[in-house]
Amino acid sequence: MTERTTNHQLRALVDESGLTYAALAKEVRTVAAECGVALRTNKSGVAHWVAGMPPAATTQRFLTVALSRRLGRLLTAVDLGLAAGEDEENDTIGLTLGADPLASLLLMWRCELDRRHFLSRSAYSVAAAALPLHHVSEIADRTRHAARTGRTVGMAEVEAVRDMIGAFSEIDERHGGRHGRSALVQYLRDDVAPLCRGRHATDEVRRQMLSAASRGVHLLGWKSYDAGQQGLAQRYYLQSFGLAAESNVPGHDGFVMRTMAMQGLKLHRPEHCRDLAEAGQDRAKGRVDVQVEALFRVVYAHTLAKSGQRQAARREADQARALLVGSPGDELPFWALTWGPSAPSVYSRMAKVFESLGEHHAAAEQYRLAAEARPGSYARIVALDLVASAEAQLRQGGIEEACATWHRALDHMGGVRSARTRKAVGRMRRDLARFRGRGVRCAVELEERARTALSA
C-alpha cells in the first residue's frame, strides 16, 4: 500500500483562506460549473487532497482558481503542492502581463489550433483581473522594440490589417462568435504577429500596428466571451491590453480596461470592476473624442450603480448622455469601433445602469433605443438588446408588450451561432412558463418559435 504524505502547502493555503473543507468544496464546484463541468466534490474529497491524494488534473485547475479567488492572488498547482501535469505550464498562459504579449499569444494560438481544450474550459480569475491596475504605468511607459526583420512595414500594411479585422468583426456581429474563429486565429498568428515584429517605417506606424493587433486580439476575447468561455476571454483581453498599452495610442488601453470591467460585472465578479472602469476612464479623459469618452463614463456609471452609489452613478450617466448629445464628435478611432457607433453602445449600457437602480421601465426604453440605433448588420447585439428590453418589460407586468419584443429579437437571430443568444432564448422560455401554464396565447405562440430557434 502506498503511504500518503500530507500536502502541507495545500493545508497551509486552505488554513489561510479561512474556508472549511465543505465551503472550499462548494467553491470548487462553483468554478467547475462556470466552465461547464458538473463536479460532486465534497468535504471528504478536500480532506483526501490535503492528506496527500491529489485530485484529477481538471479538478486541480478548479481548485487552484477557487483558492486564487479567495486569497486574492494568482496561484498555480505547484503553489498548492500538486505535481505539475502535462498542461501545468500552460495553465497560466495569458494570465500574466509580460514584456512581450505576442509570446503569450503565440502559445495560446497554438493550443487553440491544436484543439486543446484546457484554455477554453478555464475559469475567470479575479486575481488576473487586477493585473492592468498594477501594471498600467510600467507597460505604458515601456518603449521596447521587437526584433526588426524583413521588409519595412508602413501605413498601407496597417490599413490592410484594419480592413481585415473589420471584416472579421462584421462577420462576428452578423453570424455570432463561432463563425470565423479559427480563421481569425490563423490570420493574427501568421500575418499580424510578424508585422508587429517587423521593421517599421516610423514609430507611429509601429504604434498603430500594435493597436490594430490589439483590436484583433480583443475580438478573439469577444468571440470567446460569446461562446461562454469566460476564462479564455479574460486571457485574450489581458493580452489585448498589453498590446494596447505598448502601442501608447491614447485611450486604447483604457478601452480594454473598460471591457474587462464589463466582463466582471456580467459574471457577477465585482472585484476590481470599479477600479478598472475608473482607471480606464482616467487613461482616456482629455485624450479622446467626446463621443468616445461617453463610452467610458457610462461603464463607470454602471460600476457605481452596482456598488450601491446611486447618486454618483446618476451623475456619471447624465454626463455620458450630455457628452453623447452635446457634440457630433469626430470619426471614432479604429479601436473604439468594436461594437459599432457610440450612441447605441451608450444606450445599452445606460439601460444596465437603470436595471441596477431598479428602474425597469427606463431600462426597457434605453434597450429599445439601442436596438433601433444600431446598423442592421449587428444582428446578434440587436437581438440581445431586444431580449433585455423584453425582460425589463415583463418585470413591469407587460406580458403582451414583452412577447412582441421577444418576437422582434427572434427575427434577428436567424443564422447567428452564439451561446449568449441560445441562453437568452432559454431564459425566455423559463420566464414565460407560468404564462403558458395559464394558456396566455402570446406566450404559447412564442414557445413554438423558441423551440424552432433552439433546434436550428
Share of the chain above pLDDT 70, in %: 88
Supply φ then ψ for residue 359, to 5 degrees.
-100, 80
Q: Are residues 233 and 116 in the same domain?
A: yes
Cβ atoms 239, 219 nearer than 8 A: no
| Residue of 411 and 199 predicted with greater confidence | 411
CA distance 294 to 324: 6
Q: Are residues 112 and 80 in the same domain?
A: no
Q: Is position 210 within any domain?
A: yes
Q: Is position 324 within any domain?
A: no
Span 259-309, pLDDT tens digits: 999 999 998 888 899 999 999 999 998 899 898 999 999 999 999 999 999
Q: Are residues 182 and 71 in the same domain?
A: no
Which residue, of 228, 249, 270, is where some domain finishes?
249
Span 156-183, pLDDT tens digits: 999 999 999 988 898 888 888 777 788 8
Q: Which pLDDT does position 23 carry in this prediction? A: 95
Mean pLDDT of the 324-334 span: 77
Supply φ then ψ for residue 198, to 5 degrees.
-80, -170
Is 437 strand, coil or helix? Answer: helix
Q: Are residues 56 and 173 in the same domain?
A: no
Share of the chain above pLDDT 90, in %: 53
Q: Which pLDDT does position 140 carry in this prediction? A: 32
Q: Are residues 121 and 61 in the same domain?
A: no
Span 383-398, pLDDT tens digits: 999 999 999 999 999 9
Joined together, the cell numbers standing for residue 422 give: 441560445
Q: Which pLDDT does position 130 carry in this prediction? A: 64
As a dihedral over the C-alpha atoms of residue 164, residue 165, residue 168, residue 169, rounded to 10 degrees, the angle is -140
Q: Which long-range contacts (C-beta less than 8 Å, at least 24 apart) are formed by 143-150?
A: 144/99, 144/100, 144/246, 145/206, 146/100, 146/102, 146/196, 146/197, 147/197, 148/197, 148/198, 148/199, 148/200, 149/197, 149/198, 149/199, 150/194, 150/198, 150/199
- 43 class by beta-carbon count within 10 Å (0-12 exposed, 13-18 middle, 19+ buried): middle
Which residue, of 89, 119, 147, is where some domain finishes?
89
Q: Is position 199 within any domain?
A: yes
Q: Which pLDDT does position 38 carry in this prediction? A: 85
Q: Is position 155 within any domain?
A: yes
Q: Is position 2 within any domain?
A: no
Which residue, of 201, 230, 249, is where some domain finishes?
249
Q: Which pLDDT does position 330 carry in this prediction? A: 63
Q: Are residues 75 and 144 in the same domain?
A: no
Q: What total of structural domains would you count in the chain?
A: 3
Is 434 strand, coil or helix? Answer: helix
Q: Is position 68 within any domain?
A: yes
Q: Are residues 82 and 104 in the same domain?
A: no
CA distance 98 to 94: 9
Q: Is position 147 within any domain?
A: yes
Q: Which pLDDT does position 142 carry in this prediction? A: 34
Nearest to 136 by CA among 233, 9, 24, 238: 238
pLDDT at 20 over 60: yes
Write b or e for each residue in 327-351: b if 16 or more Cβ atoms lie within 10 A of its Cβ, otherwise e: eebeebbbbbbbbbebbbbbbbbbb
Q: Are residues 63 and 110 in the same domain?
A: no
Q: Is position 187 within any domain?
A: yes
pLDDT at 19 over 50: yes
Which run of H or of E encompasses 357?
Answer: none
Q: How far is CA 390 from the centre of its chain?
A: 23
What is the residue range of 156's domain?
Answer: 93-249
Q: Which pLDDT does position 128 carry in this prediction? A: 64
Q: Are residues 57 and 128 in the same domain?
A: no
Q: Are residues 138 and 196 in the same domain?
A: yes
CA distances from 439 to 170, 219, 419, 432 (A): 41, 43, 29, 11
Q: Are residues 68 and 97 in the same domain?
A: no
Place of cell 471591457: 259
Instruction: Give residues with Cβ within 8 angstroms of 320, minimum separation 6.
Output: 294, 295, 297, 298, 301, 346, 350
Q: Are residues 129 and 244 in the same domain?
A: yes
Question: Among 84-88, 423-427, 438-442, which is the least confidently predicted range?
Answer: 84-88
Joined together, the cell numbers standing for residue 109 give: 494560438
Nearest to 423 by CA among 183, 230, 186: 230
